[in-house]
Structure 1
Amino acid sequence: MGVTIKDVAKAANVAPSTVSRVLADSSRISADTKKRVRRAMKELGYHPNVNARSLANRSTQAFGIVMKSSADKALQNPFFPEVLRGISSIAHQLDYSLYISTGETEDEVLESVQRMVYGNRVDGILLLYSMVNDRVMNFLFERKFPFIVIGKPCEHMDSITHVDNDNVTASKEITNRLIDLGHERIAFIGGDEDLVVTVDRKRGYQLALQESGMLLLEEYSVHTEFLKSGGREAVHELFNLPDPPTGLVIVDDLMSIGVVTMLEELGKQVPRDVSIVSFNNIHMSEIARPSLTTVDIHIYELGRQAAKCLIEKMQDESVPTKRIIVPYNIKDRQSTQAREETLL
């Protein structure tokens, strides 16, 4: 006969109801008691019957994760595996299953989300992006279905719980790194202009230039995909200009690596000819040659915080709306140098 809740309760010297509350991660149970109960579960080899709990609670004990693009394309960018690692750490700890929803088109993504909601397959949904006029977000908001956003909602910001960085301030600070190094022709390479993260990071870049008295030149702003190939395409556009930039603010490290590769093909070296600053601090940014000066947005923590907020929302829909800002820090590495040095 298998180990039961009563066996765990006896081993932990608590009531069976306390064990049930620990399984639900109830805030009414102290951290010490939770630790004691979970230790007893591990020692006894107790595994909760998820199906029985789901029926009793009318819960699927699962939540959906939605990416903007297909899994094949999205998972090329290390941001997504890392944020999924943070999400999974909380889901595993609290015994939740994950459904990942993707699609080649906006219609496909919306249909996938609707199937999850209408089919009662999940108790909540976590969006790994925030987009202007997003049909998925509008659908979930109108249905009052529990959902959380990693990023800043374009609309209803005070009514939607979201986990984000201060991307405007971070972008302004990283752009000032180049300005302080003497660069005057600084370009911006962003992702999809419908993505709020691109809008915010471009805004920070613009503020830095404006406050330093520099001109904002439209031809110095290029938008492409958050992929290595996107960075390569941006180089073609910027370095065919009569006065190409000497500094680049790039919204994603993977794009930056593509930029470095393409610049080398054009006979330009980073940072000798062009200085680069970037975002995300993926693993490759540290081992790239040259290593990238980048904003560490703490991707894993974004995932952890978002999963915690969503599970809390699924367990109690009356929980107030939250805005969680995960701190960032800048990693100064080898992809920048003073403009005076590049002229020697």
Structure 2
Amino acid sequence: MSVTIKDVAKLAGVSPSTVSRTCSNHPAISEKTKLKVKKAMMELGYEPNFQASNLAGKSSKTIGLILPIQENDIYENSFFLEVIHGICQYCNKYKYMNTIISENSEEKMITFIDSIVKAGKVDGFILLYSKVKDPVVEYLNSHSLSYVMIGKPSSNINSTIYIDNDNITAGKDATDYLINLGHKKIAFVCDRENRIFIQDRQTGYISSLIGNNLPYEERWCIYKDLNNERDIEEIKKIFTSEDAPTAIVAIDDIVALTLEKIFNDIGIKVPEDISIISFNNSLLSKLTKPQLTCVDINNYQLGEESAAQIIKYVQNKEMVATKIIVPHTIIERESCKAIEK
């Protein structure tokens, strides 16, 4: 395994940013500290990449925006568009540019990030997602690169700067909303499993059921690919059964709209036969009929806050890692209906 800046920093008893600044001969680092760092580098056989270390002393005024890998709906999902809008508007105020980084594999993503870092073309990164065991995050950490995450990290939570919603509470609030309308059989539907926010919203969903003395049915936590015909047929079977749920917590607006289309094909009406509440409150939620009741997670603010934090961090790498929780609100529309309690 190759030696990283973190290994040198640990041996020298300094921060990774101090090692990086030593490599660029930064005047703020004392000669005594430089000697200590250089000694650790020699002991470990560490050879700095001086192009990459230029990031510590020279600003490119560019932030890389890293999109999730292998998600077909990225460019159709207005969540990302609204977050990027918030990032760009904030960066514009401080004369920072943005570059979108999108690949179809982790290996290609890491290779591209490595190339632009070595060329000195970015100051830091914003990850527009969080997931379990992410090789991209592992690469950023092992090379002591500056980044902010939108979403809760799965590890190194105390040393990672991140912007998030309280997704556990948001999941609970969405489920409570349906329970207050009289629903007792509520499904949780999403199209992927490895995102941290999905796990948290499911935790909130389960917490609401238990807190309201309703049984948790594992079969009603439904993870399906809604572009797959076999999965669509299973969805139809679940919601046409005698013991079908009367309401759904959908993980986002796209899933909710897809469910509406599936239900329309089999004669299930929203909200007359089934109620749906979703997350994001994107433009799509207002274009459908009926319009979707949503948990608004303030996408624009998530982007704006992430841009503010990464700019602060690239200007002061000694800044303590912070977390910012953006509030959510429920926007009531037409896709939910009260039933007899």
For the residue of structure 2 that corresponds to 1:108, the secondary structure is helix
Q: Which amino acid aligns with 1:172?
A: K
Contact 1:60–1:122 under 8 Å retained in 2: yes
**Deviations, residues 164-189 of structure 1 (Å, cap 9, x unaligned):** 11110011011011111111111001
Residues 72 and 191 of structure 1: CA distance in aligned 2, closer, same or farther (over 3 Å): closer
Q: Distance in 2 between matches of 1:255 and 1:56?
A: 43
Q: Which residue number in structure 1 is paired with residue 158 of structure 2?
A: 158
Q: Does residue 210 in structure 1 map to residue 210 in structure 2?
A: yes
Residues 241 and 136 of structure 1: CA distance in aligned 2, closer, same or farther (over 3 Å): farther
Contact 1:66–1:102 under 8 Å retained in 2: yes
Contact 1:224–1:233 under 8 Å retained in 2: no
- 1:197-276 map, 5 Å: 197-224=197-224, 235-236=235-236, 238-239=238-239, 241-276=241-276
Contact 1:77–1:227 under 8 Å retained in 2: no
Q: Which moved more, 1:114-123 or 1:298-307?
A: 114-123
Q: Which residue number in structure 1 is paired with residue 192 of structure 2?
A: 192
1:255 shift after superposition: 1.2
Contact 1:158–1:321 under 8 Å retained in 2: yes
In the alignment of these two chains, the number of paired residues is 288
- The percentage of counterpart residues that share the same residue type is 33
**Deviations, residues 266-311 of structure 1 (Å, cap 9, x unaligned):** 1010010000011000012123211111111110010000011001
Q: Which residue number in structure 2 is paired with residue 331 of structure 1?
A: 331
**Deviations, residues 151-170 of structure 1 (Å, cap 9, x unaligned):** 00111111101001111001
Residues 253 and 56 of structure 1: CA distance in aligned 2, closer, same or farther (over 3 Å): closer
- Across the aligned residues of Structure 1 and Structure 2, the Cα RMSD in angstroms comes to 2.5
Q: Which residue number in structure 2 is paired with residue 321 of structure 1?
A: 321
Q: Distance in 2 between matches of 1:178 and 1:231?
A: 25
Q: Does residue 67 in structure 1 map to residue 51 in structure 2?
A: no
Q: Which residue number in structure 1 is paired with residue 293 of structure 2?
A: 293
For the residue of structure 2 that corresponds to 1:104, the secondary structure is coil
TM-score normalised over the length of structure 2: 0.78
Residues 255 and 232 of structure 1: CA distance in aligned 2, closer, same or farther (over 3 Å): farther
For the residue of structure 1 that corresponds to 2:141, the secondary structure is helix
Q: Which moved more, 1:113-122 or 1:317-326?
A: 113-122
Q: Which residue number in structure 1 is paired with residue 280 of structure 2?
A: 280
1:232 shift after superposition: 5.6
Q: Distance in 2 between matches of 1:67 and 1:230?
A: 28
Contact 1:230–1:255 under 8 Å retained in 2: no
1:329 shift after superposition: 0.7
Residues 304 and 225 of structure 1: CA distance in aligned 2, closer, same or farther (over 3 Å): farther
- 1:96-111 map, 5 Å: 96-111=96-111
Q: Does residue 128 in structure 1 map to residue 140 in structure 2?
A: no
Residues 55 and 220 of structure 1: CA distance in aligned 2, closer, same or farther (over 3 Å): closer
Residues 156 and 204 of structure 1: CA distance in aligned 2, closer, same or farther (over 3 Å): same
1:331 shift after superposition: 0.3
Q: Distance in 2 between matches of 1:318 and 1:179?
A: 47
Q: Which residue number in structure 1 is paired with residue 306 of structure 2?
A: 306
Residues 55 and 77 of structure 1: CA distance in aligned 2, closer, same or farther (over 3 Å): closer
For the residue of structure 2 that corresponds to 1:75, the secondary structure is helix
**Deviations, residues 301-327 of structure 1 (Å, cap 9, x unaligned):** 100000110011111101111110111
Q: Which moved more, 1:259-268 or 1:211-220?
A: 211-220
Q: Which residue number in structure 2 is paired with residue 94 of structure 1?
A: 94
Q: Distance in 1 between matches of 2:237 and 2:109?
A: 31
1:103 shift after superposition: 1.6
Residues 144 and 182 of structure 1: CA distance in aligned 2, closer, same or farther (over 3 Å): same
1:242 shift after superposition: 4.9
1:61 shift after superposition: 1.2
Q: Distance in 2 between matches of 1:181 and 1:248?
A: 12
**Deviations, residues 29-70 of structure 1 (Å, cap 9, x unaligned):** xxxxxxxxxxxxxxxxxxxxxxxxx99961211111111135
Q: Which residue number in structure 1 is paired with residue 10 of structure 2?
A: none
1:210 shift after superposition: 1.1
Any stretches of 5+ residues in structure 1 without a counterpart?
1-53
Any stretches of 5+ residues in structure 2 without a counterpart?
1-53
Q: Which residue number in structure 2 is paired with residue 58 of structure 1?
A: 58
Contact 1:71–1:102 under 8 Å retained in 2: no
Q: Distance in 1 between matches of 2:63 and 2:313?
A: 11
Residues 340 and 298 of structure 1: CA distance in aligned 2, closer, same or farther (over 3 Å): same
Q: Distance in 1 between matches of 2:296 and 2:75?
A: 19
Contact 2:190–2:224 under 8 Å retained in 1: yes
Residues 56 and 243 of structure 1: CA distance in aligned 2, closer, same or farther (over 3 Å): closer
Q: Distance in 1 between matches of 2:311 and 2:253?
A: 30
1:115 shift after superposition: 2.6
1:191 shift after superposition: 3.7
